[in-house]
Structure 1
Amino acid sequence: MPTAIQFGAGNIGRGFIGALLAQSGYKVIFADVNETLISALRDKGEYTIHIMDLDQRTEKVSGVTGILSNGPDIVPAIVDADLITTAVGPNVLKIIASTLAKGIEARAAAGKGDLNIIACENMVGASSFLKEQVEQHLSDAGKKYVAEHVGFPNSSVDRIVPPFTGENPLDVGVESFYEWIVEEPAFKGPVPNIEGMKLTDNLVAYVQRKLFTLNSGHAITAYLGSRKGHQTVEDSINDPEIREAVLSAMRQSGAALVRQYGFDAEEHEKYIQKIEKRFKNPYIRDEVLRVGREPLRKLGAKDRIIGPATMAADLGLPHDALLRGAAAALHYNNPEDPQSVQVQQLIKDKGVAGAVTESTGLSADHPMHAKIVGAYNEMDK
């Protein structure tokens, strides 16, 4: 039986990637710093996924275990692994990079064969980024081994996995829809046969389709919903004013994606409608505070709001609805979210214009800069 290490034993790790690996015949070792989670995985060795949709059902995941990602057993586990995946969040990739590097050095010393490491994060080029971070900790021999034997295929992942409470603390609730698309040419050795994993030789198009449509619409729904006092994504998207604004933003990003990558326009409109239906799922309580967290990251120049707005602007297409989404993100005020606190402090210290520059990277003379400031001030009224 092949062995996979899934870095990140949280809801996404258990409810999405780790589950697909287990269902595909892998012995799955979850690696995490959360001792409570790891102890439960070791003791129970199984959990249940609850499909929270109109067609409700459960799926048993068994034959799994856990290991501390900062403990003494992680390097030997990496040496023996056939596949490594992550679902730790983009900001944690650089933290686990040194551990992966130690495991890779040990693999090289042991003469082990090919290994593929797939970062399954909401981040463009996450695996490539992880590779760069890992290589900073490698010797020359380790870098040579990576070049010959370690693949870092980029991927696009899509599944809503909200907080869930069940009898077994390991149980997780998920929506029925999921999509995992992986860059086939980047694999080293035979491509693993994993149920639910789709392969492509043009991943950038699919990564941006998901980031600029699903993630963009999700974030804008949360920011607009928070502004009007809604608690969940479902409540927010059922607000007619917010629904219209979110659909406008997704259709503007969609027009840019169709022009840039040649997606079929009718198929992309169906994709948008499917996303709207997912947001309205009454069985998933997706809180706006969870979806809206880390606004600084989500306002990044290449991320889910400014990224599609820039693409649309460069193609001469409308993008005003996306910029209103950016303004809504600047209004997002969650005292328990450090990045939200930081944004509000930027606005206080440097004004809205300065905060736009700091958070988005747009210079003061960029055409989109003034439009975001104007949209922010209009919301204030």
Structure 2
Amino acid sequence: MKAVHFGAGNIGRGFIGPILAESDYEIVFVARNEKKISLLQERGQYPVTLANESRDTELVKNVTAVSIKDVDEVAESIAEADLVTTAIGMSALKDIAESVARGIKLRFKKKKRPEPLHIIACENGIGGSQRLKKLVYPLLKPSERKQADELVAFPNTMVDRIVPIQQHKDPLKVMVEPFCEWVIHKAGMLDGFTKIKGVRYVDSLDPYIERKLFTVNTGHCAAAYFGYLEGYSTIQEAIANPKVLKQVRGVLHETGAMLTQKYNLDSKKHELYIEKMIKRFTNPHFTDKITRVGRSPLRKLSPNDRLVRPAIQAHKMGLKTDHLVAAIAAALVFDFVKDPEAVKLQNSIREHGIGNVIEHHLGIPDSHPLHSRIADKYNECFSSHRSEDQPDVLSQL
């Protein structure tokens, strides 16, 4: 079978690639990096190393690559594929919509009876595949859309594997944590699809997506923002501090209470899941920089993302939100000058005030009880952050 994967970054090579290879897919990576494209074409394989004590390494074989700039070759690859996947970031899906549409058009043109095609956006967010569909469909003719309704599926999915930023002599080598999870919404699949080994197919995806997003992603970024306030440079250093660990656990107990109530989860099993996720954050076999995990605070503070959304839901249910409020406040203080979103966030706070940012970016009106609590906690965090021996970041913005 043939798969086309958009994105030859660490997640694509370190997570999606190995799983597809295990199911005997030949993989065509669609990428921008010319060096990686050339090496993938030349070698046809690359190494993936697990961040464990024995550094187990496997070779992902039967791979090649094409440039995103080569629109004809990308379209040809999609026309011949059994599966299309992505790992490029939710915000970048718009950039590949035209390529996907071209491939679908060519597929219909070349084959009188084309095989069903599944297009799965393996992104860190909710509803990625359906978002991609909404971007692709307007680029198809009405007759093509009708045909796509029958022959092209965009099932939503949940993916989970921590892959930190890394540097190796071999540009294709990638190190990943041993844990990984890939869940696909079964109802979104077309008949006759060959299941991918290691992937779980479920009737209801929402509990899995929110459990992951509001435990792994919420906990990970909370560790980053709390750790940043304490002056640490890595997640491992931050979590080693009992104060930070207590704060992160507090956040995850609040999201956990919301999740167990909303989805009727087993609270004891979810507590074990929380502890397992925290253990992943502390993996001693790789170094995960706080500035990587905390990057793009505007995205992470948006109304439907990992901090604000669970806080709003927990508040609505009458549950505690003290630690979530603290995590949101810490994110608002994140002022890493090499992060464009952090710079933009601090500029916005400086120019418009914290209340305006909470209302217009976080989507929490000043009439909402969480608004004043976040603002108060932000002022407390900001004062503590600025009083420490640190450069005057705002003066550099």
Amino acid corresponding to residue 273 of structure 1 in structure 2: E
| Corresponding residue number in structure 1 for 2:44 | 45
Amino acid corresponding to residue 51 of structure 1 in structure 2: L
| Corresponding residue number in structure 2 for 1:69 | 68
* TM-superposed deviation, 1:239: 1.2
Amino acid corresponding to residue 189 of structure 1 in structure 2: D
Secondary structure of the equivalent of 1:189?
coil
* Runs of 5+ consecutive residues of structure 1 not aligned to the other structure: none
* Runs of 5+ consecutive residues of structure 2 not aligned to the other structure: 385-397
| Corresponding residue number in structure 1 for 2:390 | none
1:229-274, Cα deviation, whole Å (9 max, x unpaired): 1111111111111111110001100010000011110110001000
Check conservation: 1:47, 1:168, Cα contact below 8 A: no
Name the TM-score, length of structure 1 as normaliser.
0.98
Matches within 5 A, 1:80-229: 80-110=80-110, 111=112, 112-229=114-231
1:115-166, Cα deviation, whole Å (9 max, x unpaired): 0001000110111111101112111122112211111111111100112333
Q: CA RMSD in A?
A: 1.1
Amino acid corresponding to residue 76 of structure 2 in structure 1: P
Check conservation: 2:165, 2:292, Cα contact below 8 A: no
| Corresponding residue number in structure 2 for 1:326 | 328
| Corresponding residue number in structure 2 for 1:14 | 13
Secondary structure of the equivalent of 2:139?
coil
| Corresponding residue number in structure 2 for 1:263 | 265
1:10-42, Cα deviation, whole Å (9 max, x unpaired): 000000011110121000110112211111110
* TM-superposed deviation, 1:294: 0.8
Secondary structure of the equivalent of 2:190?
coil
Amino acid corresponding to residue 131 of structure 2 in structure 1: F
**For the residues of structure 2 that align with 1:141 and 1:103, how far apart are their CA atoms?**
15
**For the residues of structure 2 that align with 1:8 and 1:333, how far apart are their CA atoms?**
29
Check conservation: 1:343, 1:359, Cα contact below 8 A: no
Amino acid corresponding to residue 334 of structure 1 in structure 2: F
1:50-84, Cα deviation, whole Å (9 max, x unpaired): 10024531111111100112213100111000000
| Corresponding residue number in structure 2 for 1:24 | 23
**For the residues of structure 1 that align with 2:264 and 2:201, how far apart are their CA atoms?**
18
1:90-120, Cα deviation, whole Å (9 max, x unpaired): 1110110111011111112223221000100
Secondary structure of the equivalent of 2:314?
helix
Matches within 5 A, 1:197-346: 197-346=199-348
Secondary structure of the equivalent of 1:214?
helix
**For the residues of structure 2 that align with 1:150 and 1:376, how far apart are their CA atoms?**
47
Check conservation: 1:128, 1:152, Cα contact below 8 A: yes
Change (3 A) 1:204 1:55: farther
Secondary structure of the equivalent of 1:243?
helix
**For the residues of structure 1 that align with 2:194 and 2:231, how far apart are their CA atoms?**
46
* TM-superposed deviation, 1:352: 1.1
**For the residues of structure 1 that align with 2:8 and 2:49, how far apart are their CA atoms?**
17
Name the TM-score, length of structure 2 as normaliser.
0.94
1:293-327, Cα deviation, whole Å (9 max, x unpaired): 11111111111001111111111111111111111
When structure 1 is superposed on structure 2, of 12-21 and 45-54 the one drifting more is 45-54
Q: Percent identity?
A: 40
